[in-house]
Amino acid sequence: MTHTDYPRTLFQKIWDRHVVAPADGDNVVLYIDRHLVNEVTSPQAFEGLRIAGRTVRRPGATIAVADHNVPTTDRDRPIADSDSRAQVATLERNVAEFGVPYVPLLSRAQGIVHVIGPDLGLTLPGLTIVCGDSHTSTHGAFGALAFGIGTSEVEHVLATQTLIQRPAKNMLVKVAGKLPNGVTAKDLILAIVGRIGTAGANGHVIEYAGEAIDALDMAGRMTVCNMSIEAGARAGMIAPDEVTFAYLNGRPMVPHGAAFERAKAEWLALRSDEGASYDHQIDIDAADVEPMVTWGTSPEAVTSVRGRVPDPTALGPDARRQVERALDYMGLLPGSSLKGLPIDVVFIGSCTNSRIEDLRSAAQIVRGRQVAGAVRALVVPGSGQVKAQAEAEGLDRIFKAAGFEWREPGCSMCLGMNPDRLRPGERCASTSNRNFEGRQGPGGRTHLMSPAMAAAAALFGHIVDVRELP
Ligand SMILES: CC(C)[C@H](C(=O)O)[C@@H](O)C(=O)O
Ligand code: SF4
């Protein structure tokens, strides 16, 4: 079946290539190329297979790793928390029983599932990639169709290598112009989520395009696609180009030599056709984007670092109650300024911002300076490979000399499923993607920002505008 008779978007091209058969109504059976498995959403899925007497259909298309529950210190010792220990042990038992490839905790390849896929070259243009984790959208940065699935779908993919899917709508976010100095991919995606809201892309796959997107490195593109989910999108994607190919070339699971050249020729066709239509388009001028900081308990509660916390009395009754509650939780006064707000903890990590480029950008700010007195500051590389690369470049020494803790890879303080947590009332400058109540530990207060902004906050002990650093 060919579809060359009408212009299609990148999303439609990948979708069409993966439809196996129609299902009920508009639904289709979609073939899945890669299945990433973590310890959180897979136990019941494997249990389901066991009960039904099924096997894993394509173990070679599947890869498992533990990331959420792993401590980021003392890796050679047993995990102290019994629930976390049990989750990791269960994954290890399941992968052994079902013959699924597994990246062991002590392997150099271990890390956050959305960091290791690209690291290893498992994430390739044109593929369908799923994982029982919402931030699977990260992999769309390579021009893949990548989305999060629930536990029952994890079981379905394990058993059949397919999913029943309903077609998505398609949104284009076009970012014209250049991002100003000191403004990063993280600021851009925070600005987009702030503009369209956490439900702004519900039911849509977002494609990002335009000069500012083309200018991003792969880490930046992953940051943008990662947080698409915070705008309600099912996935985010960016057409592959020379930046993508340069990143991929030479990675372990990427085709080599002549096979790479052949693949590249195919990947070049993975872009939206001229005249392809979208259900929705958003236009952003990159020149207007500033360093962004969240003030509330939802990623859309965000403003420029020069901005102020909203004043609820200026709002209608519903918005007013919401903002009042957020400010109360966050311990912020209405109308107060974000710049100068004291912070207790700095977390540089998570699948949004724990890649080598993110660590370089933070280290550049930190080099030769010191973390402010009482601030507890953590750098948690996204994978063992990122950690080794950073150490080879001496970034670990820059961070440690400044007073940062240098940790083992994992989700860490992005969410409180492991020992890295905020204490109640602590305020954190965080490079992660969610600032929900209790996300980093009960009572913890999260301000999302870029790695450079978080690094600067660590040095001053309060939120600063990275553009104004001496
Ligand atoms: C625990 C996991 C299922 C969850 C997700 O799906 O995203 C987590 O990774 C998160 O970031 O909240
Ligand atoms: S780093 Fe955070 S957002 Fe990413 S998968 Fe882990 S918990 Fe989820």
For the chain, which domains are there?
10-167 (3.30.499.10), 169-241+273-288 (3.40.1060.10), 292-468 (3.30.499.10)
Question: What pLDDT, on a 0 to 100 scale, did the predictor assign at position 470?
Answer: 84
Q: Is 351 annotated as a binding residue?
A: yes
Q: Kindly give the parts of the chain with pLDDT less than 50.
A: 1
Q: Is 411 annotated as a binding residue?
A: yes
Query: Does ligand 1 come within 6 angstroms of the Cβ of 346?
Result: no
- Residue 170: in which H helix or E strand, if any? strand 169-176
Gap from CA of 87 to ligand 1 centroid (Å): 15
Tell me the C-alpha distance between 66 and 417, whole Å.
12
Tell me the C-alpha distance between 237 and 186, whole Å.
16
CA end-to-end span of the chain: 60
Best of 355, 378, 383, 411 for a ligand 2 pocket test (most atoms within 8 Å of beta carbon)? 411
Residue type, position 217, single letter? D
Structure tokens of 3? 């579809």
Tell me the C-alpha distance between 436 and 416, whole Å.
11
Question: What pLDDT, on a 0 to 100 scale, did the predictor assign at position 3?
Answer: 53
430 - beta bridge partners? 347, 448
Question: What pLDDT, on a 0 to 100 scale, did the predictor assign at position 115?
Answer: 98
Query: Does ligand 1 come within 6 angstroms of the Cβ of 387?
Result: no
Q: Is 428 annotated as a binding residue?
A: no
DSSP 8-state secondary structure symbol assigned to residue 282: E
Structure tokens of 279? 């259900």
Q: Locate the ligand 2 atom nearest the alpha carbon of residue 433 and give its number.
A: 3
Question: What pLDDT, on a 0 to 100 scale, did the predictor assign at position 413?
Answer: 98
Question: What pLDDT, on a 0 to 100 scale, did the predictor assign at position 124?
Answer: 98
Tell me the C-alpha distance between 275 and 272, whole Å.
8
Residues contacting 76, CB < 8 A, separation 6+: 106
DSSP 8-state secondary structure symbol assigned to residue 345: E
Using a CB cutoff of 8 Å and minimum separation of 24, what contacts does 16-23 make? 17/126, 18/128, 18/145, 20/162, 23/164
In the chain, the largest separation of any two C-alpha atoms, in whole Å, equals 65
Choose among 164, 119, 145: nearest CA to 234: 145
Instruction: Assess: ipTM above 0.90.
Output: yes
Tell me the C-alpha distance between 51 and 85, whole Å.
24
Question: What pLDDT, on a 0 to 100 scale, did the predictor assign at position 1?
Answer: 43
Query: Does ligand 1 come within 6 angstroms of the Cβ of 415?
Result: yes
Best of 68, 418, 432 for a ligand 1 pocket test (most atoms within 8 Å of beta carbon)? 68
Gap from CA of 317 to ligand 1 centroid (Å): 32
Q: At 159, is the secondary structure helix, strand, or coil?
A: helix
